[in-house]
Amino acid sequence: MCPMFRVPRMQINEIRVFTRATGYTPVDDLAFVGLPPAKEFLPPTNYTVSVSVVWTWDIPIARKLFKEWGKYYKNINMGGPAFNDMGGEFVPGRFIRKGLVFTSRGCNRKCPWCYVHQREGRLRELTVSDGYVIEDSNLLMCSNDHIRSVFKMLRKNHKEAFFNGGFDARLFKKWHLDLLESIKVGEIFFACDKKEVFPYFKIIAQLLMDKPQSWRCCYVLLGWEETLKQAKERLSEIKNLGFFPIPMLLQKNKFVHHNQKWKDLAKEFSVPTKYMQLVNNWQKECLERIKKR
């Protein structure tokens, strides 16, 4: 059994180990991807090591990393979303790079295709940390005061804000639009997981009529109890309402081997977004840093 981390804050002498490099991976000197470097390049052996695992299919790799890093460090633990970790108080830069923030965890909805309510439980509001990419699973479910605090933070940092978590269309109101108009907006993502939410998207389309396309990105879950034809109709309807559909093929505990028709459908409607370009640039930066080590 590997000890699981539940440290509420990042320790000064904490090494974080990741199974793979992504655009979200921190790039500071104590963030490592994969196996330990040569012994002469290792941080001091009295440091703590936390192996972070996001995807369940990376658990075998993580166990190997736990074993290899454990050859040099006694205080080592492992955890993360892959182990249904609820997540404690968010610490900027600890397990995702600085600039990306969670101001809440969990969700009160119990959508059968979603892991959030299973892993993180009911909605919990967190301390609002400084950043410009909001990763909350359901920000609009938070209290009005909390939401206003998030926008107060965003106004202070003067950067374009990206709402990447996917706004719940059922909760979007005119006063949310007023808050959005008070800041610089990079992109806004909504979520359309089922056809029943279309009436809400029609209302939002009217509210955002004079806004740029970057305010109308929309994740569209594909493959949950629907046929290929039904999925295409839903994508087309979202597009006809003026939203950029971002197809998301359903994934469960392991990679789902979608047939080529489903992959082609997702590719047909895929649109490059400013946020994804940003993530790709971050990933290049992370890979370059790894090469230099």
Number of residues that this document lists for the chain: 293
- Three-state DSSP at 166 gives strand
Q: Which amino acid is at 155?
A: R
| Dihedral, CA of residue 116, residue 122, residue 125 and residue 129, to nearest 10 | -20
Q: Which amino acid is at 179?
A: L
- Domains belonging to the chain, first-starting first, are 14-84 (no CATH), 100-279 (3.80.30)
Say what the pTM is. 0.88
CA 225 centroid distance within chain: 24
What gap in Å lies between CA 58 and CA 52, rounded to an integer?
10
End-to-end CA distance of the chain: 31
What gap in Å lies between CA 135 and CA 142, rounded to an integer?
13
Predicted confidence pLDDT, tens digits, the chain (293 residues):
455 544 445 557 999 999 999 999 999 999 999 999 999 999 999 999 999 999 888 999 999 999 999 999 999 999 999 898 887 889 999 999 999 999 999 999 998 888 888 888 899 999 999 999 999 999 999 999 999 999 999 999 889 999 999 999 999 999 999 999 999 999 999 999 888 999 999 999 999 999 999 999 999 988 888 889 999 999 999 999 999 999 988 876 555 567 788 888 988 888 889 999 999 999 999 999 888 87
What gap in Å lies between CA 145 and CA 179, rounded to an integer?
12
Cα angle for residues 281, 285, 287 (degrees, 5° grid): 115
Return the closest-CA partner of residue 222 out of 262, 273, 276, 272: 262
